[in-house]
Amino acid sequence: MQFGGGAVAIDVYEAVKTSIVQGELLPGQRLTEEFLSNTLGVSRTPVREAMKRLEADGLVTPIKRRGVVVRSFTREDVQQIYDIRALLEGFAAGHAALHRTDEQLGQMHHAVSQYERCLTARIHRRQHVHDIMRCNNLFHQLIHASAHNPHLTFMIGKVIVLPLVFRSFYWYNTLEIAGSLEEHKHILRAIACQDVEWATAAMRSHIYRGRDHVLAHISDLATSITDAPLKPGE
Amino acid sequence: MQFGGGAVAIDVYEAVKTSIVQGELLPGQRLTEEFLSNTLGVSRTPVREAMKRLEADGLVTPIKRRGVVVRSFTREDVQQIYDIRALLEGFAAGHAALHRTDEQLGQMHHAVSQYERCLTARIHRRQHVHDIMRCNNLFHQLIHASAHNPHLTFMIGKVIVLPLVFRSFYWYNTLEIAGSLEEHKHILRAIACQDVEWATAAMRSHIYRGRDHVLAHISDLATSITDAPLKPGE
DNA sequence: AATTCCATTTTTGTATGCAATTCGGCGGGG
DNA sequence: CCCCGCCGAATTGCATACAAAAATGGAATT
C-alpha cells in the first residue's frame, strides 16, 4: 500500500539503528513515535517494538511518557565499556587460539590480506574507510566465531555498538590504519600458534588502542545535539 | 539508567519473567500472545512489547510467525555462560577491591552476617532457601555496585538470569551453603584489604563452584516441558 | 494405504481509535 | 515581582479491528 510494489514493510529497528550509527540521528535527539512512523511510512505499532529493542541495546533511553532520546555517551562511558570489551574480546581471542579450526585460521589470514589490500589501495577517502571497516569487522567476527561460544559472541555484539556510534574509523589516518593492521597480524600469529596468553594480551592491547583513539577524538562530538538547554542528571 | 521499567499497572515483562524463573513456565513451552493476554488480563499490545524484551534477554526464543517458546539451556550453554560470568564477576570483584568505599565494605559485611544468620537458623526448608538466595544476591550486587561501572553491572545482569532459571539454590544442602558462605568471607577479606588479584581469583573460583553445582544437577531438568513437570526440593 | 492439494483455523503483523498522562504557557494571588 | 495552580496541546499506553501467513485437517486421487 505505502511503498512501491514488492517492497514489504521495512525493518524499523535496522533503519533507526543505522541512522544512529551513521550519525543522521544525533545523541540527545528526541524521537517521537509519530515522527518515526511518518518518516518511515509505517504505523506506530512496529515503531514501538523497534524502540523497545533499541532500549535493550542501550542505543536510546526512554523518557517517562515522552518517548525516547538517542543516547549520548560520556568519556566515562567509553572507558567503562571498553574495559568490558577488552575483557570479552581478549577472552574470545584466547579461546579462538585454543579452539580455532584450520579453516577458520585460513579465513583470518584472508581477512588480513584483504585489509592489507584496502590499505595499499591508499588515498583513504570516505569510500575506502567503509571497506576498511568491513575488513576490520570481518577479522574480529572470525575470532568471535572461532571461540565457539555463541553467548560470548552475543555479549560482544552488545558492547561493540559503541565504537560504531563514534564511527572512530573516520578519524584514522593512513599511519594509524597501518598500525591497526600490524596488530591484527600479531593477533593472528598468536592464534596461529595457539598461544592463549599471547592472543589474549595482543587482543586486549588492540582494543585499548582503539579506546584511546576514540577518547582522543571524543571532544569533537561527545556533546549532544542540544548543548544549551540541558538537564544533566535524571 | 539503562532499564526503563516503570511499572504502573501490571508489568507483563516482570510477570512472565518471574513465571519462567520460578519454573511455572517450563523450557520449551510455547507462549502465544493470546494465551498471555488472557492469562494476564491485558491486551496483546503490551504482551508483544514484553516478549520483545524477553527475547533481548535470551529468556525466550522466537519461532517464525509462531510466537515464542521458553528457552531451554543445554549443559554446553551452562558452561559457556558461566565462563562469561566468571570473567565479568571476577573483573567486578577486582574493581570492587580497588574502588569500594568504606560504607560499601560495611554493607558487604552486613550482607555476610545476614547470610550467616540465615544459615544458623538451620533446617533449610523452602522458605529459608528464599532468604538465603536474597542474602547471596545482595552480596553479589554490592560487589557489582562497588565496581562503579554501570555497564558492567548491566552486562552481569544479563548472564545472571541463567542460574536463576535453574534455581540452583534449591539443591544446596546445609554443608554446601556453609561452603558458599565461607567463599563469600574470603572474597570479602580480599576486597577489604584491597587485594585485586585475590579478589578476582576468589570470585572466579566461587562462580565456577556454582557452575559445577548446576552441572551436577542439570540432568534432572535440562530436558524440556515434554517431560513430566518437576518441582525440585519437594 | 499413502500422498497431495485445498479449505479452515490459528496466530502473528499492522493500523488506528480512545483514554490517560505529561508538558507548556497563562493568569491570578501573595 | 515572583510563585502557584489550572487549562489546552502534545504524546504515549492500551485495546481492538483487520489482513496476511502458516499450520492443520480432511478429502480426493493414485
Concatenate the DSSP letters of all residues of A18-72 into one string.
HHHHTTSS-TT-EE-HHHHHHHHTS-HHHHHHHHHHHHHHTSEEE-TTS-EEE--
B231 part of a folded domain: no
User: Do A187 and A83 lie in a common domain?
Assistant: yes
Task: Count the domains in chain A.
Answer: 2
pLDDT tier for residue B6 given thresholds of 50, 70 and 90: very low
Question: What residues of chain A lie within 8 A of the CB of B151, using their CB?
Answer: 77, 80-81, 84, 159
Q: What percent of chain B has pLDDT over 70?
A: 86
CATH of the domain at A150: 1.20.120.530
| pLDDT value of position B229 | 35
pLDDT tier for residue A50 given thresholds of 50, 70 and 90: very high
pLDDT of residue A1 exceeding 70, the answer is no
**CA A215 to each of CA A71, A129, A206, B207: distance values in angstroms, whole numbers, following the listed order:** 17, 19, 14, 33
User: Do A88 and A197 lie in a common domain?
Assistant: yes
**Amino acid whose CA is nearest the C1' of D22:** B65
| pLDDT value of position B231 | 34
| pLDDT value of position A119 | 87
User: Do B120 and B50 lie in a common domain?
Assistant: no
User: Do A49 and A128 lie in a common domain?
Assistant: no
| pLDDT value of position A167 | 78
* Phi-psi domain of A23 (left: phi exceeds 0; alpha: psi -120 through 50; beta: other): left
| pLDDT value of position B131 | 87
Of residues B78, B51, B49, B169, the one with CA closest to residue B115: B169
User: Do B177 and B99 lie in a common domain?
Assistant: yes
pLDDT of residue A4 exceeding 60, the answer is no
pLDDT tier for residue B174 given thresholds of 50, 70 and 90: confident
Asked if the Cβ–Cβ distance from A152 to B52 is below 8 Å, we say no
Asked if A143 and A187 touch (Cβ cutoff 8 Å), the reply is: yes
Asked if A90 and B91 touch (Cβ cutoff 8 Å), the reply is: no
B172 part of a folded domain: yes
Q: Coil, helix or strand for B69?
A: strand
All three cell numbers of B172, joined, read 544446596
B234 part of a folded domain: no
* pLDDT per position as a tens digit, B125-148: 566 788 888 999 999 999 999 999
pLDDT tier for residue A39 given thresholds of 50, 70 and 90: very high
Asked if B147 and B92 touch (Cβ cutoff 8 Å), the reply is: yes
User: Do B58 and B138 lie in a common domain?
Assistant: no
pLDDT tier for residue A8 given thresholds of 50, 70 and 90: low
Q: Say which residue, B127 or A40, is predicted with more confidence.
A: A40
Residues 10-69/B with CB < 7 A to strand D? 42-46, 49, 64-66
| Residue in chain A lying closest to B155 (CA) | A155
pLDDT of residue A233 exceeding 90, the answer is no
* Sign of the four-CA dihedral B207, B17, A234, A24: positive
Give the structural domain span for B146.
75-220
Q: Which of A55, A151, A155 to mutate to test the interface with B (most CBs of B within 10 A)?
A: A151
> CB-CB: which of B57, B80, B154 is closest to A152?
B80
Asked if the Cβ–Cβ distance from B56 to A57 is below 8 Å, we say yes
